[in-house]
């Protein structure tokens, strides 16, 4: 299991399983090494203050911890940047290959320049964050609350819970809700959802809850009437539209 850095989980520094790790070892992960160095800094700062009663030991310790934290954040940003650049370069190469292939296969002999192609800047994450009701620990599934009728009548619809990203956000919100409802528990993520069996039981318990068909205060009657009476493509038809209709919603049945 991956060891978190102390900035993400401060209690890791005083965990009974790793509190004696005050010197980095070659077999440790990068986060474990930084945690060990941080424990050593804290220990030396406390000992220096106890034996000399001088506050500059505490100040030096805090500055050292700040440097360790800055080093961790810088390394993390560097890794993310390199990964992002790698994906961008791959996409750029794929786009260039696609452009070259279309130049060769153009039936009319008209060259297609790179300016003819536009890249859609809108990502799925952007749509989920801006076009739907947010997933919160107070209301993980985004269903309409009685208070929404007066307080938020124009609220947006809940995000599609069958999407894996949204499903993960809902699970995270439920865990945060547990911590909110039971503040006496130090860390619900460790005590209640600390292993695979606990998370499996959580998934089973969440099967009883779902986002309702309408997650807006006012129902979209126009869309409902259009779905009932308009000529929408059906999976029963034998044409291309029917073939597409039979598979377009398969994404929601992926086991998450």
Would you list the DSSP string of 186-201?
S-HHHHTSSSHHHHHH
Phi, psi of 48 (to 5 degrees): -60, -40
pTM metric for this prediction: 0.42
Which pLDDT tens digits describe the chain residue by residue (256 residues)? Answer: 467 778 777 787 888 777 788 888 887 777 888 888 888 888 888 888 888 888 888 898 899 889 988 888 887 777 666 655 554 555 555 555 555 555 555 545 555 454 454 555 667 778 888 889 888 999 999 999 988 888 888 888 898 888 888 888 999 999 999 889 988 888 888 888 888 888 899 889 888 888 888 888 887 778 778 878 777 667 777 888 777 777 776 555 444 4
The CA-based angle 24-29-35, given to 5 degrees, is 55
- Are 31 and 93 spatial neighbours (Cβ–Cβ below 8 Å)? no
Sign, CA torsion 192/193/197/202 = positive
Residue boundaries of the structural domains of the chain: 10-116, 124-218
Dihedrals φ, ψ of 167, to 5°?
-60, -40
Place of tokens 């129902």: 219
Assess contact for 99 and 112: CB atoms under 8 A.
Answer: yes
Q: Do the Cβ atoms of 97 and 66 come closer than 8 Å?
A: no
Which residues, 6+ apart, have CB-to-CB distance to 186 below 8 Å? Answer: 11
Is the separation of the CB atoms in 143 and 211 below 8 Å?
yes
């Amino acid at each position: 299991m991956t060891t978190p850095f102390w900035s993400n989980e401060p209690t890791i520094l005083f965990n009974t399983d790793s509190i004696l790790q005050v010197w980095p070892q070659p077999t440790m992960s990068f986060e474990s090494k930084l945690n060990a160095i941080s424990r050593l800094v804290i220990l030396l700062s406390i000992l220096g203050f106890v034996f000399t009663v001088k506050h500059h030991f505490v100040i030096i310790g805090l500055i050292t911890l700040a440097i360790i934290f800055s080093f961790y954040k810088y390394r993390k940003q560097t890794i993310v940047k390199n990964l992002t650049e790698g994906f961008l370069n791959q996409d750029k190469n794929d786009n260039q290959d696609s452009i070259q292939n279309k130049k060769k296969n153009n039936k009319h002999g008209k060259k297609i320049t790179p300016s003819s192609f536009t890249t859609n800047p809108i990502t799925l994450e952007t749509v989920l964050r801006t076009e739907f009701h947010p997933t919160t620990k107070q209301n993980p599934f985004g269903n309409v609350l009685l208070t929404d009728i007066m307080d938020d009548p124009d609220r947006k619809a809940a995000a599609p819970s069958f999407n894996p990203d949204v499903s993960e956000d809902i699970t995270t919100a439920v865990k945060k809700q547990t911590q909110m409802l039971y503040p006496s528990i130090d860390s619900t993520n460790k005590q209640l959802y600390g292993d695979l069996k606990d998370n499996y039981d959580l998934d089973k318990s969440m099967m009883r809850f779902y986002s309702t068909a309408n997650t807006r205060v006012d129902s979209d009657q126009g869309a409902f009437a259009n779905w009932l009476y308009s000529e929408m493509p059906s999976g029963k038809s034998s044409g291309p539209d029917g073939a597409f209709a039979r598979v377009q919603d398969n994404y929601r049945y992926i086991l998450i």
